[in-house]
Amino acid sequence: MNILILGSGGREHALAWAVKQNPKCDRLIVAPGNAGIASIAECADIDILDGGVVSGFASDNAIDFVIVGPEAPLAAGVADQLRDAGFTVFGPSAAAARLEASKAFTKAICDAANAPTAAYARFTESAPAKAYIKDQGAPIVVKADGLAAGKGVIVAMTEAEALDAIDDMFGGEFGSAGAEVVIEEFMEGEEASYFILVDGETVIPIGTAQDHKRVGDGDTGPNTGGMGAYSPAPVLSEEIAAKALNEIVIPTMKVMKDQGTPYQGVLYAGLMIKDGQPRLVEYNCRFGDPECQVLMMRLGAQALDLMLACAQGRLSEIKANWADDHALTVVLAADGYPGTYKKGTEIRGLDALPETSSEYTFHAGTIAKDGAILANGGRVLNVTARGATLQEARDRAYAMVDRIDWPEGFCRKDIGWRAL
C-alpha cells in the first residue's frame, strides 16, 4: 500500500521508520519530512494544514492510508477532509481533537465521565479569575484554554506568579488560545504518559513512557517540548495502568462516543500518579514527541498493523505484542534551546552511527545542504536505543551520543534517572 505520513519531526521519522519495516508498505511519502526522513522515504513539501491540498496530493499519488503526526492538522480538520474524500486516515476528527485543542472541553468531559483529575474553574474575565486565585492560594496552575505550542500552562508556585499569568493570558500573549482560562488545583506526584489506540469503540493500550520536560539535568530549568524519554515507565505499574484505563480512559471515551464525537486515533493521556492513584493532567490527540520514538522502537513493524486496524475500526481483532524490553531516547538540542538558538550549524559523525532495529538516530530539526547535515530547529536529533534493561538501552544511546560531533548542540546526561 501507498502511505502518507504528515509531519516533520522526530516523531514522524520514528513513525516512518516503523512503517517502512512492514512488508505491507510499498511506497512511503512524508510531508514535509526532514533530512533524516529523506533517507528512508520520499519527502513532499506541501501545506499540511490545508485539507484540500493534502487530499489533492493523496489522490494524485494513489495514497491508501494517511497517518497524521502533529496536532495542528488534526485541529484544523485535515483528517475530516481526508475521510470525506474517501481516504483511510489515522487521526481524530477536529471535533474529537478538542480533547487537546481545548482544556475546558476536556475538563467538561472528565466531569461527565466522573474521571479523576484536578479540581478547576473556567474564566473569560480577569477580575473573577484573580479573585478565585486569591481565594484558592498557591501553588496553582493557570492554563490558556487553546493550543499554545506547549507554552500555555503556568505552574505558579506563588500567588503573584499566578496573577501575572492571568494578566498575560487576558492581555493576549497567547492570542485566541488565551481568551478563556482554566485554573486548576496543583497536583503533586510523578508524571507518566500512557498511549492508547481508540477506534471509536475499542481501546487498546500500546505502551507507557516517561518524558523529561525540563531542559536541565535533575529536572531543572525551563520547560521544553521534551529532552528525552524511555519506555516502559515503571511508575505506571500494571495495576495503576489498569486504574487509568478503567477510571479515566474508558469512561471519557464513552462520553465522547455518546455525545456524537467518537475518538479515533492515538490518545496520549498525561497522568499524575500519587499514592497509587492516577489522575488526568491532560489529553493529547497524537503521539508524544519524543515518546513516540521509544514506542516505535519497541513496536517495530506491527505499528502499521495497529494504526491501520485503528483507522478501519478493527481494533477488537488485533493485539499489541510487546517485546519484554526497554527503549530510551536522548534529545540533542541546539545551544540556547528552549530560548533563542542558532540554525545552520553542521553536525558530523552521523554516517558512522549504527542503524539497526535496536539503535537509530531519528532526526527532528535537520536539513541537508551540499552533502552536510545542518541543525534547523531547537530539538534536532533523537538518539534512540533498545536493550534488555533500561540501563543497557541508556548505555547504548549515550555511546552513540558520544560519537556525534556537534559543538553547538547539547543534551541532558541523565535521561532515565527516575527509573534507574
Note the maximum CA span of the chain. 60
Please tell me whether residue 121 binds ligand AMP under the rule CB under 6 A.
Answer: no
- Given ligand AMP, ligand GLY, none, residue 289, with its beta carbon under 5 to 8 Å by kind, binds ligand GLY
* Binding track over 200-239 against ligand GLY, x by CB under 6 A: -----------x-------------xx-------------
Taking the least distance from each CB to ligand AMP, the nearer of 184 and 289 is 184
Q: For residue 196, give the C-alpha cell.
A: 492508547
* Binding track over 231-270 against ligand AMP, x by CB under 6 A: ---------------------------------------x
Place of cell 500555555: 152
- Give residue 176's Cα distance to chain centre: 22
- With the C-alpha atoms ordered 407, 411, 412, 416, is the resulting torsion angle positive or negative? negative
Please tell me whether residue 66 binds ligand AMP under the rule CB under 6 A.
Answer: no
Please tell me whether residue 71 binds ligand AMP under the rule CB under 6 A.
Answer: no
- Taking CB under 6 A as the criterion, the residue among 153, 318, 367, 419 binding ligand AMP is 153
Q: Which of residues 185-224 bind ligand AMP (CB under 6 A)?
A: 185-187, 191, 213
- Given ligand GLY, ligand AMP, none, residue 226, with its beta carbon under 5 to 8 Å by kind, binds ligand GLY
Give phi and psi for 301, each to the nearest 5: -60, -30
- Taking CB under 6 A as the criterion, the residue among 284, 302, 376, 382 binding ligand GLY is 284
Pick from 160, 49, 174: nearest CA to 103: 174
Name the region of 14 (left: φ>0; alpha: ψ -120 to 50; beta: rest). alpha
**Shortest spacing between CB 212 and ligand GLY, in angstroms:** 9
**Shortest spacing between CB 79 and ligand AMP, in angstroms:** 22
Pick from 45, 44, 19: nearest CA to 308: 19
What is the 3-state secondary structure of 144-166? ECCCCCCCCEEEECCHHHHHHHH
Rounded-to-integer distance, Cα 122 and Cα 153, Å? 14
Residues near ligand GLY (CB under 6 A): 211, 225-226, 284, 288-289, 291
